[in-house]
Amino acid sequence: MNIILLGPPGAGKGTQAQFLVAERGMVQLSTGDMLREAKSSGTEMGKQVAEVMDRGELVTDEIVIGLIREKLETVDAPGFIFDGFPRTLKQADALGDLLADMGKTLDRVIELRVEDDVLVSRIVGRAEEAAAAGKPVRADDNEESLRTRLAAYYKMTSPLVGYYYAKGMYSRVDGMASMDEVKAQIAAQLDS
């Protein structure tokens, strides 16, 4: 089973993906992690990624799709969790084409819905805890930056909700619930 977890920064996608990895043996494909991994891999694709990132530019959709193809071809798993991709309709089409080309399907798109004010307080609180413990804090984990990131997320990603809803793949869970309740809601979606 291949799924996409949608949700704004701080919604809990990473935490829930880790549960799915541990309990179902799925593989989380986080585009951020894949780009960092590729950059230091020394492969041909990795060299391309490094050049683009070193110039401070965004990696093209073609490169990201190439990295995803590489993972799908080389990693054996009962399912994949796409995290951080797709973010646009163009990327959604490209992912659909890639999966079809490889004889794979996308089975479910689950959005973790969380109220903006809760997200902001969650992430700012997390940053304050990290700072108090002497741990590194993301420079953009402050209220102003977060609201900008949320606006960008909704602008880019909201069309995906309609896109996947029309394909009958979309469902949402209450990301405001406890971690265990969210986990149970996701399990129910995957098992239905």
Residues with active-site annotation: 13, 87, 126, 138, 149
Q: Vertex 28, ends 22 and 29: CA angle to 5°?
A: 170
Q: Could you tell me what percentage of the chain is helix, strand and coil, using 3-state DSSP and rounding each to the nearest 5?
A: 60, 10, 30
Q: Which class for 29: exposed (0-12), middle (13-18), buried (19 or more C-beta within 10 A)?
A: buried
Distance CA 144, CA 117 (A): 12
- In 3D space, the residue among 191, 174, 192 whose CA is nearest the CA of residue 182 turns out to be 174
What letter would DSSP give residue 28?
E
Residue 176: phi and psi, rounded to 5, are -85, -15
Distance CA 35, CA 41 (A): 10
The residue written with tokens 């646009």 in the block is 88
